[in-house]
Amino acid sequence: MTTDPIAFIHDFGPGDLTPALRRAGWQALIDTLGVAASGIATPLSRAIRETAVAEFSAGPGARAARMLFDGRAVSPAGAALAGGMTTDAIDAHDSFLPAKGHVGAALVPALMAISDGGCPGDEVMARLVVGYEIGCRAGIALHATAPDYHTSGAWMAVGCAAAAARARGLDRAATREALGIAEYHGPRSQMMRVIDHPTMLKDGAGWGAMAGVAAAGMAARGFTGAPAITVEGADVAGIWADLGTRWMIAEQSIKPEPVCRWAQPAMHGAVALAKAHGVTADAIARVEVATFYNATRLDHRAPRDTEQAQYALPFPLAAALVRGEVGPDEVRGATLEDPAILDLAARVEMRVEPAFEARYPAARVAAVTIVTRDGRRLESGPVEAAGDPARPFTEAALREKFHAYAVPVIGHAHAAAVEAAIDALPVGTLGALKAAAEAAPGSVEAAGALETV
């Protein structure tokens, strides 16, 4: 397999899909689309979908795509924008530790927006692998060469452009231009700004997806933009040397909860510790968390909205101890005003542990101490979150997560149609999955989605 990125985009084919790559592609689809289904119930998603209809309409004779779990047709760039932001609205999509960010939230909506229903399932999987492999390495390269910590959309614009260039049938010269356009116009947005001041901006997934899809369209019409220096720079050549031999799509982490990955080791450690010692939330005097520096920036204890609740550590940790779990319901609505959660969140103390800071970003580690009201100190020791490559989800657990997120919003039948279409993709076309995943909940299309599988 070639290590030249442009050649890889075009030469990697369905015949190169090993069982491990097929499973990784299935994981990316079922995890991302389950989170996207949950995301459409958020104010963020409603606002961006209405924006896409108003600002990214597909004119007569123009290419069109339907928005995920909405059904309305807009331009492919608009559908990618809306789908990426909708998925990012519920912060439970996959993570790639070396790039400190997320791939699926941008790539899967972009892939759905630019792929026709008649596309063979194996080719869809090949495009997915190409997008992950190019995007992950562009992310590592950007973090190695840029002074600021950028959101995932900054580098996933390149991964989305790679998949879109292949889908549009661009030649190699135009593909090179597409990568350069996407890199240049990808959102170089500041990640720590949105950590400190959470808003609907989130991780830039939608803007990166839009930039990548638009870049391929621009290159198809002769627009130039090469080179993408995260791809072609001499100082990042080593990052691309294992392209085609090391499969980064298989190195993604799966999030059990819809909050920043940085908070999850402490959450998991606290819950496990409380269960092991039979400690209830009302018996806890305080919780001490030792972790890496960026995690201590998640210092939101009384969030006003979903965004603040997701970019927090004390609040979801307290919610996990009080309610026993953290799902979409724990980061929105009346839960944000739960006095028991707010009281415990105010008694969470955080500090930087140098040993854990040294391991970041290759690992996210925390150690939790629960101090009980009767004076006991219960210590977890170092904890890493479930779902990392060393502690992967089983297939059964992935399906359970998919239904836990999707069913409350789109219903059992609609969720089952999406799941069945993903399962059938290797021996069919993308048509059934597009019919199910692009149908609005409760619509005629959703009601008939099972019949297309």
Give the model confidence (pLDDT) of 67-77 as tens digits.
999 999 999 99
Q: Say what the pTM is.
A: 0.95
Task: Read off the pLDDT of each residue in 221-228 and give the average, rounded to a whole number.
Answer: 98
pLDDT at 448: 64
- Looking at the predicted structure, is the pLDDT value of residue 450 above 60? no
CB 109 within 8 A of CB 45: no
Helices (H), 244-292: 264-277
In Å, how far from its chain's centre is CA 16? 25
Question: Closest Cα to residue 348, out of 296, 274, 394, 309?
Answer: 296
pLDDT in tens, 400-440: 999 999 999 999 999 999 999 999 998 899 999 999 999 99
**Segment (H or E) for 351:** strand 348-352
d(CA 87, CA 192): 20
Tell me the average pLDDT of the chain.
Answer: 95
Confidence band of 178 (pLDDT split at 50, 70, 90): very high
Tell me what percent of the residues of the chain surpass a pLDDT of 90: 92
Over residues 374-384, the pLDDT tens digits come to 999 999 999 99
Tracing tokens 């059904």 back to the chain, one arrives at 71
Please give the residue that has the higher pLDDT: either 63 or 90: 90
Residues 321, 324, 328, 333, CA torsion sign? negative
Q: What is the pLDDT of residues 263-320, one digit of tens each?
A: 999 999 999 999 999 999 999 999 999 999 999 999 999 999 999 999 999 999 999 9
How far is the CA of 297 from the CAs of 86, 197, 291, 300, 364, in angstroms?
Answer: 25, 10, 11, 9, 14
Q: What is the pLDDT of residue 147?
A: 87
Alpha helix ranges (H) inside 204-353: 205-220, 229-232, 237-240, 264-277, 293-296, 306-310, 314-323, 339-345
User: Given a cut of 60, is residue 156 above it in pLDDT?
Assistant: yes
**How many other C-beta atoms lie within 10 A of the C-beta of residue 413?**
12
Apex CA 299: angle with CA 297 and CA 303, to 5°? Answer: 135
Average pLDDT over residues 214-229: 98
pLDDT for position 30: 98
Q: Which residues contact 227 (CB under 8 A, 6 or more apart)?
A: 176, 179, 180, 233
Torsion, Cα of 10, 99, 81, 195 (10° steps): 180
Q: 385 or 173: whose pLDDT is higher?
A: 173
CA distance to 22, 261, 287, 341, 418, per residue, from 372 (Å): 47, 26, 9, 16, 45
